[in-house]
Amino acid sequence: MSFITGVGLTAYGRHEGSSSLDLMSKAAELSVADAGLKRADIDGILCGYSTVAPHIMFAAVFAEHFGIRPAYAHAVQVGGATGLAMTMLAHHLVEAGVAKHVLVVGGENRLTGQSRDASILALAQVGHPDYEVPLGPTIPAYYGLVASRYMHDYGVTQEDLAEFAVLMRAHALTHPGAQFHEAITVADVMASKPVAMPLKLLDCCPVSDGGAAFVVSRERTGETGVRVLGCAQAHTHQHVTAAPGLSELGAEIAIARAKESAGVAISDVRYAAVYDSFTITLAMLLEDLGLAGRGEAAARVRSGHFSRDGAMPLNTHGGLLSYGHCGVGGAMAHLVETHLQMTGRADSRQVKDASIALLHGDGGVLSSHVSMFLERTR
């Protein structure tokens, strides 16, 4: 058994003068304190990567900087799925008795540490170096390709996709740490600058500075326990050119495995935290995961289904689209928010019942998937 015993999250946006290690340390400090632990209690560290400060031994660099000497430490790289992949590994490490308290940490000064062009360029390298990158695609273009096909096959419109940006912004308005604080409408999304059609600027997550961390422990340390009920991965390809058909993508494989491992059904889920790098990502994943029928996710947004007071509250902090995206830490904010919801600490964003949560992360171009179920235990 494993528990998420503490969480830490910085505001996302601009942190002028903060390094990746600074942002990671800040979040780590918060999570260790939230777990009611001391630094010396941490005996395992898993961290992500920083595109601003790449290093071949990033976990050791962080451990030294933070001031701990863990029994187990290394970095993990699964793109946007890194945070949940680290959580899955931490879960197995504490279950296997390798460590008692694993600190999972990600953070990056991606916005102020480099130019936006440098950031876009670094990320575009997930494309094939010989067969894709020379054609000048960008990450939005990889997802734009997927979007064009998904919209074609399932009758989804650009206005439908815009609904997801509007929903994430509405949620971000209620979180003081979010990068964006101005309400937007479907018309605003439609009128925003074209980036890689059919995706426009407001269909895309921003580049942010920020850090997120949590502690995964063998025993719970607080009154309310948040337990990892089950999790699973699927990896079908790396490059969009080599992706399988839309009906064979990894999200469906990962969620099927995770449901089996957790022994729960989608109908048991009360809160959802789903990767939302682009509006199309969120639309597709909600439908792949079974949280909406094919082509029906946008209608569910319009009816309030995914709103804070709806039947399936989704990314109540504003997600990558509006809380912000600082790389590895980006989707870790989804888990931090889930933990706050499950432990009744989400302030004005608190939902009625977050007893069982589903989290899903995606790395690459819908390439690598991690699905996870969390359960509240008293």
Partner 1 sequence: MSPRIDDWTTGAEAIVYQSCAPCGRLQYFRRSFCAACGAPDPVEKRASGQGTVYATSLVCRAATPETRAHVPYNIVLVDTSEDFRMMAHGDHELAIGDRVTARFVPFAGRMVPYFEKVK
**How far apart are CB 283 and partner 1 at their closest, in Å?**
16
Residue 350, token pair as written in the block: 């608190």
**How far apart are CB 114 and partner 1 at their closest, in Å?**
12
* Interior angle at CA 47, CA 41 and CA 50, nearest 5: 145
Binders of partner 1 among residues 109 to 128 (CB under 8 A) are 117, 120-121, 124, 128
> Of 225 and 250, which has the nearer Cβ to partner 1?
250
> Of 33 and 120, which has the nearer Cβ to partner 1?
120
Binders of partner 1 among residues 179 to 198 (CB under 8 A) are 193-198
**How far apart are CB 149 and partner 1 at their closest, in Å?**
4
- Contacts of 131 by beta carbon, 8 Å cutoff, 6+ apart: 239, 241
Are 126 and 145 in contact, with CB atoms under 8 Å apart?
Answer: no
Are 206 and 77 in contact, with CB atoms under 8 Å apart?
Answer: no
Strands 101-109 and 44-47: parallel
**Given the structure tokens 């719970």, which residue do they identify?**
220
Q: Tell me: does residue 134 bind partner 1 (CB under 8 A).
A: yes
**How far apart are CB 238 and partner 1 at their closest, in Å?**
10
**How far apart are CB 136 and partner 1 at their closest, in Å?**
4
201 φ/ψ angles, rounded to the nearest 5 degrees: -50, -45
The correct pick among 241, 261, 350, 355 for binding partner 1 (CB under 8 A) is 241
Q: What is the DSSP code (8-state) at residue 205?
A: P
> Of 279 and 315, which has the nearer Cβ to partner 1?
279
**Given the structure tokens 């000048």, which residue do they identify?**
136
> Of 124 and 173, which has the nearer Cβ to partner 1?
124
Would the CA dihedral through 85, 105, 21, 319 be positive or negative? positive
Q: Tell me: does residue 137 bind partner 1 (CB under 8 A).
A: yes
The correct pick among 112, 114, 148, 350 for binding partner 1 (CB under 8 A) is 148
Task: Provide the strand spans (E) within the chain.
Answer: 3-9, 44-47, 72-75, 101-109, 194-196, 199-200, 209-217, 225-235, 271-274, 356-363, 368-377
> Of 141 and 285, which has the nearer Cβ to partner 1?
141
> Of 16 and 130, which has the nearer Cβ to partner 1?
130
Strand partners, 234: 369
Binding site for partner 1 (CB under 8 A): 117, 120-121, 124, 128, 130-132, 134-138, 140-142, 144-149, 152, 193-199, 239-242
